[in-house]
A and B are shown apart, each in its own frame.
Chain A
């Protein structure tokens, strides 16, 4: 029997379907939506297929993407549409229509059922319209946030099933099956925070369920429903849950750290909650972007247009009017439910905004996992908009039912109201919301054909596995990928274009990987020797020069493509393809790509960054894998020793830049000082927590102690109290002295870093004390403070006498450890132009040496061979600084006519440090002079720029400053009359002498020793079975050998099923030491993915079968 179709409902449903076609208004010409945070891809099918793997090569040096497998349906939909032969724009149109209309349909289903429950009509269409057209979704649509839309669409369905279960229309099993299947398809890409709105809604449902009748029976039924739904959901979602669970277990803390730690997250919550006041939220405003983005495309209309402002205040009245309308009704349950849901969700949506902000921060601090909700507005708002849609729909329905119009007129009014709802979110019709920074950035772009052509070419078998580095690099600070044809995103364009390993700086890189790639960029930009070696170490064979890259993008300036043209025309590099504005260059000699086996590895005693240093040595062979000491914990040291060949020792140049360590005293400010009424509690805590304190703990206690004293000096505490604090400080110094005595007894240089830190902290304490006497009135306290100062000085002298650090610009001090006695080649790179000297003086462990007949190659000077014994060594090299100032020796600077003195320009690289010093003396007048450092030729705004005032007097005064170059280029200093425009009558003048500009260079030293045995390196070809599996048989290497897989090191990569003897090679790659002839390398999580898909498939068939059986039985 065909069920009778309700004409009104059919009419309403057709209207919703028509409204779902709105996305067709958004596209002009060949525009597509791309960039920002959208995740929309250029090639849906390959992108979807890549997401079936737990390991992807699209990012960095390969990356785990188990978190992305849950996007199966979202990306599968795009791939499905694409597979039907539609072009990219049409794929987006169809996909957008689906996601746009889906919330309307699910809300229509829910609201239609609610109409029956409340015995009303005219609810479903306005509720659905409001649920589709509102400011929350508008903000989500600018990046087509399909993950958010999926859960947003699921919300009405879930609640509808729950109401049916409550009313016993659905059985427990049916409800659990329906909820699980809904969340199976609409899973928000398994992003836990996106479930915020749903958790709130379901939570309120259970609260009301229990309020209605609080009984054990109901509690048990809730337990049963939650357990059954949870169980079915787990098996249904096994395809992503198994591997994602594994990911969460290992990377939760990493995610927190990436977000800036708990403090960073709280700061972010404060930032996004700034405008989430109740008055804003209750009228459905407070969208963070509206207030934070001054170029927001439409927010200003809602702030300034009186009609829109008045409408915004009508919204809460319309929403909460049902409380009044149904105040005496028996069907009050649903009205109270949605009102409570709206009001309750506001507490969460408001985040850290008053008045409930403290409660939210409490949850962040103390509820495990709640930290995931670090953007409260976007995560909890669905519950608010959902409840408002229903409540406003009820109000509209109430009034329409009471208006005594004819049906036609009533329907016209009905449609006019729906049109008004749409018009209130008018940017949906204009698509202006895609222009998220008006005049600057838009999501609508025309992708040049050559971009697609490159994508296609890079997927050809001969290019599919070649690691390609993009040029120029993005801005190092924010990694923005921006092109002058409009693409702008933190997601590299190439990751949306091809599955080939295109290397972009991104968050997917580990810190060492990122630093190594940055170093490679710097070396390439300056065409430094060894850059090709470093590229080979990283497995990079190819370079993509993007001549359309926007190197002047606002907020993310970077190098120009032309900066890299020269280096790409060097020997060893050839142009292999030109595709539109993109040029591809390859290294001609290359051994890496996927996998190599080597009979020997090189051993580096240094840091990750030192890889770039050893790569620049003339005799360095980049084909031999390098192991950095201490980077692998599960390595068998005997195996390692058996295959170690060349070794390199890179000593650290201790404080060669002559800069002090930064000690952030804010971290050590004390809340409760000795004079606080809570101090006894602190004593009790200290007494309970009696653990042995290490030297660092004792050190920072002394800093806390003097900061505590300074605080109470500021509070004008009495002399007695100050004396007590000073005695505490003396005790802390004594504790430090005692602790140090233990350390210095075993003194063998190994505590140099500790001594350095202590010296710097004591220096800070010294500065604090020196600034205090003027604020202390008690002579007794001043005397006591002087005594403490003497103690501090004595202690610092003791520390400094044990400390090995560079103290002046000429004598560079190094400290290094030798693990194996032997003869080492001594290589030295001064990091500055050398004076015309044929010898270098240095001392090793106090013994003076002179190296003559220097041999220089590619920047390195070989100082001969040195026998080095096992242990720690101190090295000091004398390096005379070059004088960089060229100009008048004693310039006179006049105030009149703003005549300024400018030094010559000094050229250098980013982060180079220069020391400027001179003597100055006043000749006439009283006008002040200011010194400023400039890095461009524009001197128009000299008065606005920052600078030091010279306190010139009749006697000579010394001035000295260190300047760090912020970018590659030049700087010079200028001295001008300060501020006030001078006239011809101002005869003020000063004179300078002994002007010196020196580079504070940080030279480099490498001790290297070569193995007598020539290493055998084999390039393994045709071993790659998939991006998570490699297999080969070794027939060339005998005994132990090393295997290196040029994919980012990850513990889930295993060799022959075992994770043991895994090492990190070349600073980033997976390596193993083995003697096995048959090698099977796998990314283990892929096994979990496979298993998960099987479980999911079976579970889905059973779930659907069970639903059919339930229906059939009924």
Chain B
């Protein structure tokens, strides 16, 4: 049991070690665009395109990590679990909202990428 836990954590750490640059890049991308959209004059774009920083970061993440569709779906469903903790127990609502956004974007990505499958053959 302990060994499996250790192995699991090792696996996660290895993934993290391997992808740290990508994670940082996505986070920085979001920060840059979010800051950019708050600058004078450019913030005019926020009136209509307020969701662009999240959308751009999400697209960048998809490009960098190239997750499989199943992985995206798994992520979307699993992201709800920690939301429970953040939403109620710790009352960290903004974190829960962020995870909710992740779930939402993951779900919609999965659905959109699956649409091709319903085309009549």
Is A466 part of the binding interface, using a Cβ–Cβ cutoff of 8 Å? no
Known: A677-B41, A678-B41. A279 touches B96 (CB 8 A): yes
CB–CB A309/B88 < 8 A: yes
CB–CB B84/A309 < 8 A: yes
Is A333 part of the binding interface, using a Cβ–Cβ cutoff of 8 Å? yes
Task: Name, among A280, A282, A283, the residue most crowded by chain B CB atoms within 10 Å (CB to CB).
Answer: A282
CB–CB B103/A316 < 8 A: yes
CB–CB A359/B51 < 8 A: yes
Nearest A residue to B98 via CB reads A279
CB–CB B104/A212 < 8 A: no
Known: A211-B119, A332-B114, A355-B54. A279 touches B107 (CB 8 A): no
Is A313 part of the binding interface, using a Cβ–Cβ cutoff of 8 Å? yes
Is A569 part of the binding interface, using a Cβ–Cβ cutoff of 8 Å? no
CB distance from A398 to the nearest CB of B (A): 15
Known: A355-B54, A677-B41. A343 touches B118 (CB 8 A): no
CB–CB B114/A282 < 8 A: no
CB–CB B118/A333 < 8 A: yes
Is B1 part of the binding interface, using a Cβ–Cβ cutoff of 8 Å? no
Is B9 part of the binding interface, using a Cβ–Cβ cutoff of 8 Å? no
CB–CB B107/A343 < 8 A: yes
> Once the chains are docked, how many angstroms separate the CA of A343 from the CA of B99?
15
Nearest A residue to B41 via CB reads A678
Q: Within A95-130, which residues are at the interface with B (CB < 8 Å)?
A: none
CB–CB A343/B100 < 8 A: no
Known: A309-B88, A313-B80. A355 touches B50 (CB 8 A): yes
List residues of chain A with CB within 8 A of the CB of B111: 323, 336, 339-340, 343
Q: Per-position contact with B for A351-367: 1 when CB-CB < 8 Å, else 0? A: 00011111101100000
Q: Per-position contact with A for B84-121: 1 when CB-CB < 8 Å, else 0? A: 10011000000011011101100110110011011110
CB–CB A359/B48 < 8 A: yes
CB–CB A362/B101 < 8 A: no
> Once the chains are docked, how many angstroms separate the CA of A211 from the CA of B70?
22
Q: Give the interface size class of chain B.
A: 35 or more
CB–CB B100/A277 < 8 A: yes
Q: Select B77's contact among A278, A320, A362, beta carbons within 8 Å.
A: A320
CB–CB A282/B110 < 8 A: no
CB distance from A512 to the nearest CB of B (A): 38
CB distance from B89 to the nearest CB of A (A): 8
Q: Per-position contact with B for A307-320: 1 when CB-CB < 8 Å, else 0? A: 00110010011001
Known: A282-B103, A313-B84, A327-B73. A336 touches B115 (CB 8 A): yes
Q: Per-position contact with B for A446-489: 1 when CB-CB < 8 Å, else 0? A: 00000000000000000000000000000000000000000000
List residues of chain A with CB within 8 A of the CB of B84: 309-310, 313
CB–CB B77/A332 < 8 A: no
CB–CB A327/B100 < 8 A: no
CB–CB B108/A279 < 8 A: no
List residues of chain A with CB within 8 A of the CB of B7: none
Is A399 part of the binding interface, using a Cβ–Cβ cutoff of 8 Å? no
> Once the chains are docked, how many angstroms separate the CA of A222 from the CA of B79?
39
Q: Select A212's contact among B49, B83, B87, B118, beta carbons within 8 Å.
A: B118
CB distance from A526 to the nearest CB of B (A): 51
Known: A212-B119, A358-B48. A309 touches B101 (CB 8 A): no
CB distance from A631 to the nearest CB of B (A): 41
> Once the chains are docked, how many angstroms separate the CA of A603 from the CA of B70?
81
Q: Within A257-311, which residues are at the interface with B (CB < 8 Å)?
A: 277-280, 282-283, 306, 309-310
List residues of chain B with CB within 8 A of the CB of A343: 104, 107-108, 111
CB–CB A279/B100 < 8 A: yes
Is B46 part of the binding interface, using a Cβ–Cβ cutoff of 8 Å? yes
> Once the chains are docked, how many angstroms separate the CA of A279 from the CA of B103?
9
Is A216 part of the binding interface, using a Cβ–Cβ cutoff of 8 Å? no
CB–CB B104/A361 < 8 A: no
List residues of chain A with CB within 8 A of the CB of B108: 343
CB–CB B118/A336 < 8 A: yes
CB–CB B104/A358 < 8 A: no
Q: Select B119's contact among A213, A277, A678, beta carbons within 8 Å.
A: A213
Is A208 part of the binding interface, using a Cβ–Cβ cutoff of 8 Å? yes
List residues of chain A with CB within 8 A of the CB of B114: 323, 332, 336
Is B47 part of the binding interface, using a Cβ–Cβ cutoff of 8 Å? yes
CB–CB A316/B80 < 8 A: yes
> Once the chains are docked, how many angstroms separate the CA of A461 from the CA of B65?
81
CB distance from B29 to the nearest CB of A (A): 16
Q: Give the interface size class of chain A.
A: 35 or more
Task: Name, among B41, B69, B81, the residue most crowded by chain A CB atoms within 10 Å (CB to CB).
Answer: B41
Q: Per-position contact with A for B25-49: 1 when CB-CB < 8 Å, else 0? A: 0000000000000000100001111
Nearest B residue to A358 via CB reads B50
List residues of chain A with CB within 8 A of the CB of B51: 354-356, 358-359
List residues of chain B with CB within 8 A of the CB of A678: 41
Q: Select A317's contact among B41, B46, B77, beta carbons within 8 Å.
A: B77
Task: Name, among A212, A320, A324, A327, the residue most crowded by chain B CB atoms within 10 Å (CB to CB).
Answer: A320
List residues of chain A with CB within 8 A of the CB of B46: 358
List residues of chain B with CB within 8 A of the CB of A354: 50-51
Nearest B residue to A215 via CB reads B120
List residues of chain B with CB within 8 A of the CB of A282: 100, 103-104
CB–CB A279/B70 < 8 A: no
List residues of chain B with CB within 8 A of the CB of A306: 88
CB–CB B97/A279 < 8 A: yes
Is A151 part of the binding interface, using a Cβ–Cβ cutoff of 8 Å? no
Q: Select A278's contact among B70, B88, B100, B115, beta carbons within 8 Å.
A: B100
CB–CB B97/A278 < 8 A: yes
List residues of chain B with CB within 8 A of the CB of A212: 118-120
CB distance from A1090 to the nearest CB of B (A): 47
Nearest B residue to A329 via CB reads B117
Is A346 part of the binding interface, using a Cβ–Cβ cutoff of 8 Å? yes
Is A1099 part of the binding interface, using a Cβ–Cβ cutoff of 8 Å? no
Q: Per-position contact with A for B44-78: 1 when CB-CB < 8 Å, else 0? A: 00111111001100000000000001100110110
List residues of chain A with CB within 8 A of the CB of B80: 283, 313, 316-317
> Once the chains are docked, how many angstroms separate the CA of A333 from the CA of B107?
16
Task: Name, among B50, B54, B76, the residue most crowded by chain A CB atoms within 10 Å (CB to CB).
Answer: B50
Is A321 part of the binding interface, using a Cβ–Cβ cutoff of 8 Å? yes
Q: Select A355's contact among B77, B81, B101, B107, beta carbons within 8 Å.
A: B101
> Once the chains are docked, how many angstroms separate the CA of A280 from the CA of B101?
10
List residues of chain A with CB within 8 A of the CB of B69: 327
Nearest B residue to A305 via CB reads B88
CB–CB B41/A313 < 8 A: no
Nearest B residue to A340 via CB reads B111
CB distance from A363 to the nearest CB of B (A): 10
Q: Within A339-383, which residues are at the interface with B (CB < 8 Å)?
A: 339-340, 343, 346, 354-359, 361-362
CB distance from A759 to the nearest CB of B (A): 36
> Once the chains are docked, how many angstroms separate the CA of A734 from the CA of B48?
39
Nearest B residue to A285 via CB reads B87
Known: A279-B83, A282-B100, A317-B77. A332 touches B117 (CB 8 A): yes
CB–CB A309/B87 < 8 A: yes
CB distance from A445 to the nearest CB of B (A): 37
CB–CB A321/B48 < 8 A: no
> Once the chains are docked, how many angstroms separate the CA of A676 from the CA of B118?
52
List residues of chain B with CB within 8 A of the CB of A332: 114, 117-118
> Once the chains are docked, how many angstroms separate the CA of A358 from the CA of B81?
29
Q: Which 6 residue pairs are nearest across A and B when measured between Cβ atoms?
A: A279-B100, A358-B50, A355-B51, A213-B120, A278-B100, A309-B88
Given contact pairs A278-B104, A323-B73, A359-B50, a sample of 14 additional A-B residue pairs in the complex whose CB atoms are under 8 Å apart: A213-B119, A278-B103, A279-B100, A309-B84, A313-B83, A343-B104, A343-B108, A346-B104, A354-B51, A355-B55, A358-B46, A359-B51, A676-B41, A677-B41
Q: B: which residues have CB within 8 A of A?
A: 41, 46-51, 54-55, 69-70, 73-74, 76-77, 80-81, 83-84, 87-88, 96-97, 99-101, 103-104, 107-108, 110-111, 114-115, 117-120
Q: Please list 5 pairs of residues, one from A and one from B, whose beta carbons are closer than 8 Å in the complex, sorted by A's number.
A: A212-B119, A213-B119, A320-B77, A356-B51, A358-B47
Q: A: which residues have CB within 8 A of B?
A: 208, 211-213, 277-280, 282-283, 306, 309-310, 313, 316-317, 320-321, 323-324, 327, 332-333, 336, 339-340, 343, 346, 354-359, 361-362, 676-678
